[in-house]
């Protein structure tokens, strides 16, 4: 299996080294071929390395992606759910090392459905707050 290892930190003061060590060790213990992708000082709207990796995953250049934690991949539960749902439909593995989740297993698919419910709840709350904010006071 060929996977992409994706690592991300939010500031230049942080390092991906701890993520890299654990993820490479895990990939090698599984006998996977891998390439490394790292993002430093990313923002919500600017993650060019992730965008490049998504394109490669969609083109089936990799069988899956390995991340250190779910929050290293996505910045919101909605983003996470939408992308994992796409991966599942396209038979792309998504594995979160620290969360011990491999979304190709039955238990992790249940976990994904729970995440989906929370993402839907999050979207509904945002919608309600937006509508309330748009209403004029009486």
Task: Please name each of the domains of the chain with its CATH number.
Answer: 2-134 (3.40.50.1390)
Count of CB atoms within 10 A of residue 118's CB? 13
Q: Which is catalytic among the residues 10, 38, 98, 104?
A: 10
3-state secondary structure of 87: helix
How far lies 88's CA from each of 43, 55, 135, in Å? 26, 16, 39
16-51 per-position pLDDT tens digit: 999 999 999 999 999 999 999 999 865 556 789 999
Model pLDDT, residue 94? 93
pTM of the model as a whole: 0.79
Whether 10 sits among the annotated catalytic residues: the reply is yes
């Amino acid at each position: 299996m060929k996977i992409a290892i994706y690592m991300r930190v939010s500031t230049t003061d942080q390092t991906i080294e701890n993520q890299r060590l654990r993820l490479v060790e895990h990939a090698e213990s599984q006998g996977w071929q891998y390439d490394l992708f790292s993002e430093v000082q990313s923002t919500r709207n600017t993650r060019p390395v992730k965008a490049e990796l998504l394109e490669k995953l969609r083109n089936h250049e990799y069988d899956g992606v390995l991340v250190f934690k779910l929050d290293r991949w996505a910045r919101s539960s909605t983003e996470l759910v939408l992308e994992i749902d796409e991966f599942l439909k396209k038979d792309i593995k998504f594995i979160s090392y620290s969360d011990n989740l491999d979304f190709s297993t039955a238990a992790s698919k249940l976990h994904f459905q729970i995440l989906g419910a929370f993402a839907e709840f999050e979207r509904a709350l945002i919608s309600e707050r937006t509508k309330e904010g748009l209403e004029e006071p009486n």
